[in-house]
Amino acid sequence: MLTENWRFQIDPDQQGEKAGWAEKDFPDQDWPLLQAGRLWENQGFSYDGMAWYRRQLDVSADWRGKKIIMVAEGVDDAYRLWINGKPIAFYGSFTDHSKTVYQIKTETDLTDFLVIGTMNSIVLQVVDVFGGGGITQPIYLRIE
């Protein structure tokens, strides 16, 4: 499960990408901690717009040779996924609310992007068009 210990920051001026918020070693220690699987509004952020979630993942050497898939069961409304500073997937639309992934499970193969036996960064750049926002459903890894 990847529900705990996400660093979180709203980005009302959409400057996070330019400021390097997706970079592997971006210093996010002053960002508040949020839990995934819950609306950000329920965690003290009454906000519609762009925001960022960051966390570290220790990829076990035992996972070598296995397929590593990140499953997000719902992100409101859209998101771009970055692994170790590289954008690797985009789901939904940052401008067209009809393409929301709020209740759509997305699966991303992380195998070729994670570095085995070390800490890796996972970053989600999320846009909430209106209403509740964020990683609203469970998010986890499936190791095959």
Q: Give me the mean pLDDT over the 98-104 stretch.
A: 81
Short-list 92, 75, 78, 89, CA closest to 135: 75
> What is the reported pTM?
0.95
Q: What is the rounded average pLDDT for all residues in the chain? A: 95
Domains of the chain: 6-143 (2.60.120.260)
Provide the CA 142 distance to its chain's centre, in angstroms: 16
Give 109's pLDDT tier (boundaries 50, 70, 90).
Answer: very high
CA angle 125, 98, 129 (to 5 degrees): 45
Whether residue 46 is predicted with pLDDT greater than 80 in this model: the reply is yes
